[in-house]
Structures are given as C-alpha cells and as structure tokens.
Amino acid sequence: MKRIVILISGRGSNMEAIVRACAAESWPAQIAAVISNRPGAAGLAFAASHGIATAVVDHKAHASREAFDAELARVIDSYAPDLLVLAGFMRILGNAFTAHYEGRMLNIHPSLLPAFPGLHTHEKALEMGCKFAGATVHFVTAQLDHGPIVAQAAVPVLPGDDADALAARVLAQEHRMYPRAVRWFVEGRLAVDQGRVQQLDDEAQAFSL
C-alpha cells in the first residue's frame, strides 16, 4: 500500500475527488493524512469525517518560510508518505522542501502551463483573449508552477465567461484528471525522462471536454 499525504489550504474539492476515487477504485494506496496551512480550511472536515488523520501547520505561527517548511516536512514525514499531493495548497515552498520530496510530489495548477504560473490564472487567460484554458498536473520542482507535466486538461473559453465561470469549467476537469494522475503514480505507471513524463500504458495524458 502506497501512502499519500495531501496538502490543502481551503475548500479541498480536489482532495475530496482523490479520496473518493481511491476508495471507489480500490487503489493500492491509502490517504495517510490531510494537512492544511490554514486552521479553518473547509476540506479538513471532509477528511476527518472520512476517518482520515488531519493536521494543521499554520504558516502564521512561524517566523520564517524556512521554519514553516521545516515544521511542515516534520509533520508530513511523521505519516511516512510515498507521495505528497498538493491540492489547492497556496504557499510557496522553499528549495530544501522541494528537494526533499523531489520525484514524489505532485501539484495541480489551474492553467495550461507554462502559461500563467502564479495567481489569478483565469483572469489572465480572459485578459489575454485565450480561446482555451485549463489545468496542469505536474511534478513539483524548486521553480514555482514548473516541473515535468503529468497531465493537462483543456476547456474552451466561451463568450461571456467571467473568471468564476471559467474556474468552474476548469475545476470540473481537475476533478477528473487529478485522481487519474495520482493513481498512475501510486501504480508505478509514470516514467520521467529528460523532464518529460510518459504514461506507461499509453493512457491519454491530455483531457478535454
């Protein structure tokens, strides 16, 4: 059984999709813990109600990024994860942290990377007149919102969209794609070669409506 630790900061709908898929599809994995940097994160209640261990490492209680990262890693490692999943985790992680989990940490970002790293991705896509928007699952490296791309989901930008409408259309695809990508990892069905990720059974790594 592979052990998965999920980091959240808020709503946790991607975490919820992963928890549900892990149980429904009987993955060879268990969600060992859900950890938030925000004490009030709504997703913590869902995790607890599903019998999953929860913890809070509050970034506001730490004097520096390094101190926060070190405490976060200490708590994560107490659950001995094989895979760390960032699911709407909204803190920038330092180099020591990313190096420690290199090759075993996934993130989902709400844009078609390398377009629009950082915040406000849907506003930026609309501002640029993009005709497609989407989300990317990638291995985490020291560079923010960068790293080998495991899967991408594309959705059309429709006339009249505002950021909320676009975010909702993208989020529905995130909920399909992220559980699939996590399952590939825990089943050992991903290979990374020269920064590119291959799904070893030739399953589609591109998702669309």
The CB-of-141 to ligand GAR minimum distance in angstroms stands at 14
The CB-of-201 to ligand GAR minimum distance in angstroms stands at 25
Answer yes or no: 109 catalytic. yes
122 is a contact residue toward ligand GAR (CB under 6 A): no
The CB-of-14 to ligand GAR minimum distance in angstroms stands at 3
Among 6, 57, 110, 155, binds ligand GAR (CB under 6 A): 110
156 is a contact residue toward ligand GAR (CB under 6 A): no
Nearest-angstrom CA–CA distance, 35 and 55: 5
Backbone torsions φ then ψ of 86, nearest 5 degrees: -90, 120
> Which residues does 6 contact at the CB level (< 8 Å), separation at least 6?
15, 18, 19, 31, 33, 34, 35, 47, 84, 85, 86, 87
Nearer to ligand GAR, 123 or 200 (CB): 123
- Positive or negative torsion for Cα 6, 10, 13, 16: positive
Residues 50, 59, 109, 138: which is the catalytic one?
Answer: 109
Helices 163-186, 13-24: inter-axial angle, 10-degree rounding: 40
Q: Which two tokens stand for residue 190?
A: 């991903």
14 is a contact residue toward ligand GAR (CB under 6 A): yes
- Is the Cβ–Cβ distance between 95 and 142 less than 8 Å? yes
| Segment contacting ligand GAR by CB under 6 A, of 11-19, 31-39, 158-166, 196-204 | 11-19
135 is a contact residue toward ligand GAR (CB under 6 A): yes
Radius of gyration of the chain, Cα coordinates, nearest whole angstrom:
16
| Segment contacting ligand GAR by CB under 6 A, of 61-69, 95-103, 107-115, 190-198 | 107-115
Among 38, 76, 105, 109, binds ligand GAR (CB under 6 A): 109
CA distances for 89 relative to 14, 29, 200, 205, angstroms = 11, 21, 28, 23
Instruction: Catalogue the active-site residues.
Output: 109
What residue ranges bind ligand GAR (CB under 6 A)? 8, 10-14, 87-88, 108-110, 135, 171, 174
